[in-house]
Structure 1
């Protein structure tokens, strides 16, 4: 709406300036008796000038109509008037507007016909009003006007497309960032909460069987896990702070933290076997993604698989990093294949960095999660 009002204001200014120039110039020339040949119909010529001045105020609302009206009035005015005023200005403005608003074909056709009319009429009149060079120069300007308008129209189209593309890019970036944060919350905080839930449930069962059961060790594990969860949550909140504000810093998720992750899983009663083969300096994104896949796989085992033993394999080759998490639980346990268990997030983590991901029941029972990443990724 504001843009429409701005266009209307520009049309008012242009129309007013055109009216001052055309009417003022013509009146001055008339009063000073600056006349060419005798006009065929002076009253009709003045009427044509008035119509041209008025219709130009609607040049943006009705560009084609205004262009045709100003052209017709101009063609009638010059033979009818003895005063050679700047009547052509309104038609030039209307023709430019027609092309600048995207009606390039129509503007080109009208300009071509106008060029023919100007040249043919002067040839028939024996170049009594203008010399041959002036005639072709005027015709050339008429042709140039829609060309200039076409350049402006193309620039406006490019600017509009660029604006739309930038808006789409920003929306996509926001969506990707929201997805990334959701994955981080699910994989990191969700894992710690799952460990706390498992430890608490186990302690409650033991207390029911033996009221004298000492819970100090279990509570210590829960406290340590809660502290880890809070650290990761603070780190994520810090990333969301406004630029310039202090945010907590610390090491990001890495395969170097697997021993601590395994110890926490073992404290929950799970028998975890960690095997690491090979070593290399990993890209930060790959290192973090591999750790999160292992972490989420352990979370799924604790929550759904009812497994007793888990084997984690990390193999670093010359060009590829591979991880595998194998358990002996119930592959068809409730939630093992549900959309909310993190399999989608793990697949996205692997494939977004050019890797592969496979997960499913094992032939000999249990469930397996396997993922690979190239050691060279786009930064």
Structure 2
């Protein structure tokens, strides 16, 4: 739960205590027999309601003791039971049925003992008994309703996870199918081109002839195409990270690309989908920098916030904001990953030159789910 929601609940609880206290105080003011002690007891019983979420049993005890003292001293009307009714309802809502029943009995006994056993006192006691029964029943109904809502939410989350798992499984099967098709078709064709170009170059050199530049270009391009195709097939065959962003940076540095990694905030485990997306974003950004940035330094920054993980990859290469290039397949896939997680992605040339990739991935949902599970275990509403 966010800080704004907690503050809103506290304000609502304080407002409830003020309204209840005002009603009982107004009723007491019409009775000229009330004293300062009576007003203090009313204030204590009503003010306790402001803490009914954090300490329901203590609130029940304070409201019952102060309310019973007030009715024994001032012999008021039925409205004096409002603070105790609120405390009884809260106690029943969090599962303290026995305490709620005992507090109701104590207050009713005090109310009946405020005067002689007249018919008017008996009628008021019967009315209060009905009120207290309603408070207990509505508290239990509220508790059951909250439990039903939690179960419904858990079932919805489970169904969503099942759908996501099914979608990921179908996507994995489709990637494997594409990988097989690419391997069976393109790999064979490119291998033939590379082989034929290599044979032609070898024969030309063996005969002492000058190798045509076009033939050398074909040989080099076919070799590069084979390397890129193998890398693509490796990515298609697995979507699970095979390391960490730091290992990606280390491999890029070992391959000759100047790269730096900075981690801010408090590193902590994040949901698997977020971890996978972060790895692929850094991987794709480093690959693009190696291919297109030219001689450049790449800076990778991971910022762990309370509600999101921010990934930023900047290079000082040759990208020019005056001549932006259309996004390729890698950037499109990166954007789809981020969108699937409810995050945001910003890419493009930097004003000072070079290219920048910035992704924000929400991680708060997992923390919220743990908080709801803990609340459900404790029997408290989340």
TM-score by length of 2: 0.46
**Larger Rg: 1 or 2?**
1
- TM-score normalised according to structure 1 size: 0.46
